[in-house]
Structure 1
Amino acid sequence: MTVSSLRSALRDGTSALHLELDNAVGEFGDRLGYADFVQKTHRFRLAVEQALAGAPEGSWAVEPIADLAAHDLADLGVPKLPEAEVPSRDWTPESRLGALYVLEGSALGARLLMRRAQALGLHADFGARHLAHQASDSQRWRGFLGVLESVPSDMHATVLSAARDMFGVALAIYSETAHECA
């Protein structure tokens, strides 16, 4: 299996979850909707960044944005949500790549979300730091695809399973209502 087939398997195998997540995130046409998005982004990223901390030397590392999202929440004058947990898992190099597929892919979407935030008067120095950071490195995704290229075909199922699980975690958080997060 080549990287394009692993990439295709990841895209095809998570497309329904990805669509559900996009629908859960929504459009955030006003600052209230945007604040809800940032609260959930912070909650999700803090949990995932903690779960994936301590990457083995030489492996692809998480690009942390939880602290930037926390600053954005302060700018917006809204509180952080209670911490979430990522289900326990043996974070093998392959399962880490599956989780990272979701995180790295979100940086692609950050470019569109950044434009929406800017339409609300938010920017890299106020309210949209985390999006600006994610959107700033256009080469990171290509680098990540290069890492996927090295995954042996017998490990592809593990990568896909972890990606599905991580989409599930994100979907659970972004689908929560305010009273469910408390």
Structure 2
Amino acid sequence: MLIELERPAESTRIQRLKALTTGTHDTLDKRIMRAEPFASRERYALFLAVQHHFHGDVAPLYASADLNAKLPGLADRCRLEALRQDIVDLGGTAETLASTTGPLSPAAALGWVYVAEGSNLGAAFLRKEAMKLDLSDDFGARHLAGHPEGRGLHWRNFVAAYNDLPLSEAEEIDAAEGAKAAFRRVHGLVEKIFG
């Protein structure tokens, strides 16, 4: 059954995607906060493990020639190496991870990338919490650092490119399903790693 996608005249593709994924996203945010990832460095190390697995999943998407053609500069946005260094900073081992996404349609892949990029925007709040643990952009919280051009500008550039993609209504729905799957993946990782 095909879901009808509401298209208010003033809404953008990103706004529609956000509206279709808000419930799944909110559920994840609440679960992460219940896990208290910034209560201690030990809890934060668990958060890094969650992030590491998710960014291991999306790293191949950031390297995809097809997605980079659609979203120029996407490869430069990947935060997996920064995450690995954060894990090492805190005394952990950053093993190489294989993506668990399985085959994705191009539109679903865009949904996963939307979640990863949106998490970078939300990282501004998390970065402040990490600083309370004496972590910084140079030690332990590299993956939460803003882009040198500014976090807001970096996000707006991504949004502009995303909104300009020539997607059909069915592809927008597929992107939303991909984004929901990405949010559920992170939720599953939080449940598994934090217990």
Q: Per the shorter chain, which TM-score range? A: 0.7 to 0.9
Q: Is 2:167 the partner of 1:152?
A: yes
Given the two structures, how large is their TM-score scaled by the length of structure 2? 0.79
Q: Is 2:59 the partner of 1:43?
A: no
- Give the match's secondary structure for 1:138: helix
Amino acid at match of 2:97: E
- The CA distance in 1 between the partners of 2:124 and 2:80, in whole Å, is 17
Look up the match of 1:172. Answer: 188
Q: Deviations over 1:105-164 (max 9, x none)?
A: 101110000000001100011111111146953212111221232243423112211111
- The CA distance in 2 between the partners of 1:3 and 1:126, in whole Å, is 42
**Which moved further from structure 2: 16-25 or 101-110?**
16-25
User: Percent identical across equivalent pairs?
Assistant: 28
Amino acid at match of 1:113: L
Amino acid at match of 2:102: S
Q: Is 2:104 the partner of 1:97?
A: no
Look up the match of 1:112. Answer: 125
- The CA distance in 1 between the partners of 2:60 and 2:125, in whole Å, is 26
- The CA distance in 2 between the partners of 1:170 and 1:84, in whole Å, is 15
Task: Mark the CA change 1:80 to 1:175 in structure 2 (over 3 Å): closer, same or farther.
Answer: farther
- The CA distance in 2 between the partners of 1:39 and 1:81, in whole Å, is 10
Look up the match of 1:68. Answer: 82
Q: 1:87 aligns with which of 95, 101, 106?
A: 101
Structure 1 residue 16: deviation in Å? 1.9
Number of residue-to-residue matches in the alignment: 178
- The CA distance in 1 between the partners of 2:184 and 2:65, in whole Å, is 22
* Cα contact 1:43–1:80 (8 A) shared by 2: no
Task: Mark the CA change 1:58 to 1:83 in structure 2 (over 3 Å): closer, same or farther.
Answer: closer
Unaligned runs of 5+ in 1: none
Unaligned runs of 5+ in 2: 1-6
Amino acid at match of 2:116: L
* Cα contact 2:86–2:142 (8 A) shared by 1: yes
Look up the match of 1:22. Answer: 29
Look up the match of 2:152. Answer: 138
Runs of 4+ in 1 over 6 A off after TM superposition: none
* Cα contact 2:130–2:136 (8 A) shared by 1: yes
- The CA distance in 1 between the partners of 2:192 and 2:115, in whole Å, is 19
Aligned-pair Cα RMSD in Å:
2.5
Q: 1:9 aligns with which of 16, 35, 53?
A: 16
Structure 1 residue 84: deviation in Å? 5.7
